[in-house]
């Protein structure tokens, strides 16, 4: 997998053809991942790169932020000088603008492909609570079943609230526990009951079932989308 560094725009030689080669190699790998129905971390990385380039396009001062941060005082002085010289160098700035103009629509196109895949996964996924959801639901369990198979993946989840730029975000952390199974004699309610017996610290656990009608890669696709749905579900319950 070709990785695209966060400072790829300013790292190394600033040359249109060179940066074009780096970007196209990265996007080729991203498309191959999407062809394999693998969403994450590829879609989120694309969005981050797109936003970073958009910031640089809107404000050239942001270029400075893309330089390395862990440097010595002497190197910092050199870096400041290099930055000032770069911004004043019209030819260099034109080269950067050409690179950005080439990159933005291609990143946007790749993001569109990722969102189409995300929508496909979400449209074929159902989430519901197993039994009655208790008042305390900031942690509990997620059961994942794919393609009507017997196998059930059991995860523990914990909700956390992150603050960034004066905004609060809900995030879900999951931990894989074990593989279980379901059949006529062992419904999802029985799996929940066994979880309560096995992990006594949650005697009446919030438990949610995720069913995907189509089989997708679990860690790269099913689990990330399921976590998004769970955040949405818990937000609805608490509102």
pLDDT in tens, 189-232: 999 999 999 999 999 999 999 999 999 999 999 999 999 999 99
Count CA within 13 A, CB hemisphere, residue 9. Answer: 30
pTM above 0.95, yes or no: no
CA 9 – CA 25 distance, rounded (Å): 14
Residue 79's pLDDT band, with cuts at 50, 70 and 90, is very low
Residue 76's pLDDT band, with cuts at 50, 70 and 90, is very low
Count CA within 13 A, CB hemisphere, residue 219. Answer: 3
Question: Tell me, what's the pLDDT at 236?
Answer: 86
Q: List the one residue out of 32, 39, 41 whose CA is nearest residue 121.
A: 39
CA 65 – CA 68 distance, rounded (Å): 8
Whether the CB-CB separation of 228 and 46 falls below 8 Å is answered with no
């Amino acid at each position: 997998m070709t990785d695209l560094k966060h400072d790829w725009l300013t790292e190394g030689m600033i040359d249109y053809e060179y940066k074009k080669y780096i970007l196209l190699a990265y996007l080729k790998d991203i498309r191959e991942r999407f062809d394999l129905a693998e969403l994450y971390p590829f879609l989120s990385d694309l969005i981050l790169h797109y936003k970073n380039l958009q910031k640089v396009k809107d404000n050239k001062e942001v270029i400075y932020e893309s330089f390395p941060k862990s440097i010595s005082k002497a190197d910092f002085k050199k870096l400041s000088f290099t930055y000032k010289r770069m911004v004043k160098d019209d030819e260099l700035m034109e080269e950067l603008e050409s690179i950005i103009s080439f990159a933005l629509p291609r990143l946007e196109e790749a993001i569109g492909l990722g969102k189409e895949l995300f929508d496909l996964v979400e449209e074929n996924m159902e989430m519901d609570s197993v039994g009655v959801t208790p008042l305390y639901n900031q942690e509990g369990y997620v059961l994942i079943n794919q393609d009507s198979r017997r196998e059930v993946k059991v995860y523990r989840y914990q909700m956390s609230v992150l603050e960034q730029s004066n905004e609060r975000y809900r995030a879900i952390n999951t931990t894989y526990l074990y593989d279980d199974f379901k059949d006529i004699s062992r419904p999802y309610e029985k799996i929940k009951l066994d979880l309560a017996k096995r992990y006594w610290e949650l005697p009446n656990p919030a438990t949610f079932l995720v069913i995907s009608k189509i089989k997708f890669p679990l860690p790269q696709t099913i689990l990330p989308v399921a976590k998004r749905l769970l955040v949405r579900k818990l937000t609805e319950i608490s509102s």
